[in-house]
């Protein structure tokens, strides 16, 4: 269990990138020899098919804005769900009391307690625990998954140190539940699962109220807690970052999966059937579902067909961390079959889906040794193949092609969201600072991906707006965001 205290406030880890301070691209790419691809027709074709020149990215960004508008107009229209989150009030800083966050959305889930101290003290104390989810639970039954979560939650609460954390008398413990899958929200504290993504496929849950599933499991395990806010991780990131910075308008996740959530004007949401159309609300775009204009290759198509959610989340499958390694693996396998990439035979391991992961690609792309030694070690360790320099160079080229396309497409998505905001608010043209809060291991740990994403942002936004946009890396603020939203929506 990690324990953090801070006085007077605990601030999240934040790294900012502003366009006015645009870096010179100092990322080492020396390992890539642009001409070696020409010797390999598959690679040349793949590179051409993956190309995302600026005019093409512009079309992607415009198409995403169109889909956002379609999704806001009529429920179920357009490729983006544009989910109403019922988060109308973002944190003000005045929130006080003890609240919890439970975060489920990847291979780990996290529980957190947060003692909020109001404007002056903000986060007085926070404690968290991360638990990895056994693989079989990701594709098992809802009782098994939520039963496991409730057990861990119960032991977390049992370890709580009195004094540090104080629950007001007569109150139940309230939770902000971050559930990072597409959910059709019916209120701030309920919503039904639309579909699973990111390799989850728990049976019988689609169409079910996920909060009810958690409540039932908590009851079975004798936990006297209630969910006060059900939030997506993008919403949690936006809310958590907003707690410290009122210019945050967008929360983006670039991790195993991807998503963007942003602050929308209610009168720009035709499908919102409420009498009051003034003010703002947070929209969960579920942009992973975008698919119209995308540079899809045969490798993307084949990977999609074999996935647990074929035909769905195609943008996510091109830009998020779960899939980049798998695309590379498929290209390498084809290169082995047609151009003797690793000698006469393809290594047996290369036929194993998902054997290459994003962190392996990153390690290979960061190799700046003359003979690409690190690339050699990764290939030896994970594919059990000995390689010469030429093969290593080609592997790096494949990685770079996939990562460049992913990063640039992600950049186009962010521009689309910023332009949608700009259209309705004219924030940026009036010189108002606009912050995108960013979280996710892909953004955090993959410098080349980040750099390609930033290039696309600058190319598309132009210098007119770029100087007012800040990309803030807000690591792990989504838990704080969820706890603060539980406070905002407390029943007490």
Among all residues, which ones are annotated catalytic? 110, 180, 233
Q: Does residue 316 belong to the site contacting ligand BGC (CB under 6 A)?
A: yes
Cα–Cα distance measured from residue 128 to residue 126, given in angstroms and rounded to the nearest whole number: 7
Q: Does residue 411 belong to the site contacting ligand BGC (CB under 6 A)?
A: no
List the one residue from 258, 297, 474, 488 that touches ligand BGC (CB under 6 A): 258
Which residue, 91 or 288, is less far from ligand BGC as judged by CB?
288
The three-state secondary structure class of 86 is coil
Which one of 149-157, 176-184, 354-362, 482-490 is the stretch in contact with ligand BGC (CB under 6 A)? 176-184
Which residues on adjacent β-strands are paired with residue 262?
Answer: 250, 283
Which one of 13-21, 59-67, 107-115, 249-257 is the stretch in contact with ligand BGC (CB under 6 A)? 249-257
Shortest gap between Cβ of 442 and ligand BGC (angstroms)?
10
Contacts of 298 (CB under 8 A, 6+ apart): none
Which residues, numbered 78-137, are part of the site for ligand BGC (CB under 6 A)?
105
The three-state secondary structure class of 34 is helix
Q: Does residue 181 belong to the site contacting ligand BGC (CB under 6 A)?
A: yes
Q: Does residue 232 belong to the site contacting ligand BGC (CB under 6 A)?
A: yes
Q: Does residue 71 belong to the site contacting ligand BGC (CB under 6 A)?
A: no
Shortest gap between Cβ of 440 and ligand BGC (angstroms)?
7
Q: Does residue 414 belong to the site contacting ligand BGC (CB under 6 A)?
A: no
Are β-strands 2-5 and 123-132 bridged in parallel, bridged antiparallel, or unpaired? antiparallel
Which residue, 255 or 347, is less far from ligand BGC as judged by CB?
255
- CA torsion through residues 79, 85, 91, 92, sign: positive
Q: Does residue 347 belong to the site contacting ligand BGC (CB under 6 A)?
A: no
The three-state secondary structure class of 307 is coil
Q: Is 53 exposed, middle or buried (0-12, 13-18, 19+ CB in 10 A)?
A: exposed
Shortest gap between Cβ of 252 and ligand BGC (angstroms)?
9
Of 113, 63, 8, residue with least CA distance to 409: 63
Q: Does residue 318 belong to the site contacting ligand BGC (CB under 6 A)?
A: no
Which residue blocks in 288-388 are alpha helix, DSSP H? 298-305, 314-319, 324-339, 358-365, 373-383
Which one of 52-60, 142-150, 156-164, 178-186 is the stretch in contact with ligand BGC (CB under 6 A)? 178-186
DSSP string, 116-150: EEHHHHSEEEEEEEEEEPPHHHHTSBHHHHHHHHH
Q: Does residue 321 belong to the site contacting ligand BGC (CB under 6 A)?
A: no
Which residue blocks in 202-347 are alpha helix, DSSP H? 210-220, 233-242, 298-305, 314-319, 324-339
Q: Does residue 481 belong to the site contacting ligand BGC (CB under 6 A)?
A: no
- CA torsion through residues 197, 199, 200, 204, sign: positive
DSSP structural state of residue 268: G
Which one of 142-150, 180-188, 401-409, 447-455 is the stretch in contact with ligand BGC (CB under 6 A)? 180-188
Helix axes 324-339, 389-425, angle to 10 degrees: 140
Q: Does residue 67 belong to the site contacting ligand BGC (CB under 6 A)?
A: no
Cα–Cα distance measured from residue 128 to residue 2, given in angstroms and rounded to the nearest whole number: 6
Which residue, 331 or 409, is less far from ligand BGC as judged by CB?
409
Shortest gap between Cβ of 287 and ligand BGC (angstroms)?
9
Q: Does residue 251 belong to the site contacting ligand BGC (CB under 6 A)?
A: no
**464, 72 Cβ separation under 8 angstroms:** no
List the one residue from 12, 71, 78, 182 that touches ligand BGC (CB under 6 A): 182
Q: Which single residue is written with the structure tokens 């100087």?
A: 467
Q: Does residue 367 belong to the site contacting ligand BGC (CB under 6 A)?
A: no
Distance of alpha carbon 398 from the chain centroid: 23
Q: Does residue 286 belong to the site contacting ligand BGC (CB under 6 A)?
A: yes
Residues in contact with ligand BGC, counted by CB under 6 A, come to a total of 17
Which residue, 376 or 407, is less far from ligand BGC as judged by CB?
407
Q: Reply yes or no: is the peptide bond before residue 8 cis, omega within 30 of 0.
A: yes
List the one residue from 113, 180, 401, 448 that touches ligand BGC (CB under 6 A): 180
Which one of 89-97, 228-236, 239-247, 413-421 is the stretch in contact with ligand BGC (CB under 6 A)? 228-236
For 332, half-sphere exposure in the C-beta direction (CA atoms, 13 angstrom radius) is: 36
Q: Does residue 479 belong to the site contacting ligand BGC (CB under 6 A)?
A: no
Which residues, numbered 191-220, are part of the site for ligand BGC (CB under 6 A)?
197-198
Shortest gap between Cβ of 426 and ligand BGC (angstroms)?
28
477's tokens: 């603020």
Cα–Cα distance measured from residue 457 to residue 22, given in angstroms and rounded to the nearest whole number: 11
Q: Does residue 257 belong to the site contacting ligand BGC (CB under 6 A)?
A: yes
Provide the binding-site residues for ligand BGC, judged by CB under 6 A.
105, 180-182, 197-198, 232-234, 253, 255, 257-259, 286, 288, 316
């Amino acid at each position: 269990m990690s324990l953090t205290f801070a006085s007077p406030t605990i601030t999240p880890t934040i790294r900012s990138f502003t366009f006015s301070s645009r870096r010179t691209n100092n990322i080492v790419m020396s390992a890539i020899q642009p001409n070696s691809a020409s010797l390999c027709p598959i690679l040349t074709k793949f590179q051409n098919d993956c190309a995302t020149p600026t005019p093409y990215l512009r079309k992607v960004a415009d198409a995403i804005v169109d889909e956002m508008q379609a999704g806001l107009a009529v429920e179920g229209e357009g490729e983006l769900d544009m989910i109403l989150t019922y988060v109308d009030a973002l944190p003000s800083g005045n929130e006080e009391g003890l609240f919890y966050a439970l975060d489920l959305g990847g291979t780990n889930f996290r529980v957190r307690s947060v003692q909020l101290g109001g404007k002056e003290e903000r986060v007085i104390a926070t404690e968290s625990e991360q638990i990895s989810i056994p693989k079989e639970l990701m594709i098992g039954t809802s009782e098994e998954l939520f039963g496991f979560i409730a057990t861990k939650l119960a032991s977390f609460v049992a370890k709580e140190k009195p004094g540090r954390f104080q629950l007001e008398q007569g109150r139940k413990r309230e939770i902000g539940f971050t559930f990072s899958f597409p959910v059709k929200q019916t209120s701030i504290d309920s919503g039904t699962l639309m579909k699973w993504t990111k390799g989850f496929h728990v049976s019988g849950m689609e169409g079910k109220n996920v909060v009810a599933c958690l409540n039932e499991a908590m009851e079975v395990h004798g936990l006297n807690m209630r969910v006060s806010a059900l939030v997506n991780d993008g919403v949690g990131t936006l809310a958590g970052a907003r707690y410290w910075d009122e210019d945050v308008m967008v929360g983006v996740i670039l991790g195993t999966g991807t998503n963007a959530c942003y602050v929308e004007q209610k009168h720009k949401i035709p499908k919102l059937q409420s009498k009051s159309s003034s003010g703002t609300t947070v929209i969960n775009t579920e942009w992973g579902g975008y698919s119209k204009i995308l540079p899809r290759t045969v490798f993307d198509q084949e990977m999609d067909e074999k996935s647990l959610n074929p035909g769905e989340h195609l943008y996510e499958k091109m830009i998020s961390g779960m899939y980049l390694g798998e695309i590379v693996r498929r290209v390498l396998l084809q290169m082995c079959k047609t151009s003797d990439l690793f000698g006469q035979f393809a290594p047996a391991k290369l036929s194993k889906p998902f054997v290459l992961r994003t962190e392996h690609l990153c390690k290979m792309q960061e190799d700046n040794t003359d003979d690409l030694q690190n690339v050699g070690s990764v290939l030896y360790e994970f594919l059990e193949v000995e390689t010469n320099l030429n093969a290593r160079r080609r592997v790096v080229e494949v990685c770079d092609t996939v990562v460049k396309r992913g990063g640039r497409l992600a950049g186009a998505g962010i521009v689309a969201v910023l332009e949608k905001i700009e259209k309705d608010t004219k924030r940026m043209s009036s010189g108002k600072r606009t912050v995108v809060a960013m979280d996710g291991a892909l953004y955090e740990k993959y410098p080349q991906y980040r750099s390609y994403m930033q290039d696309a942002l600058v190319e598309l936004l132009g210098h007119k707006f770029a100087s007012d946009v800040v990309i803030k890396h807000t690591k792990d603020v989504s838990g704080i965001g969820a706890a603060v939203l539980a406070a905002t929506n407390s029943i007490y």
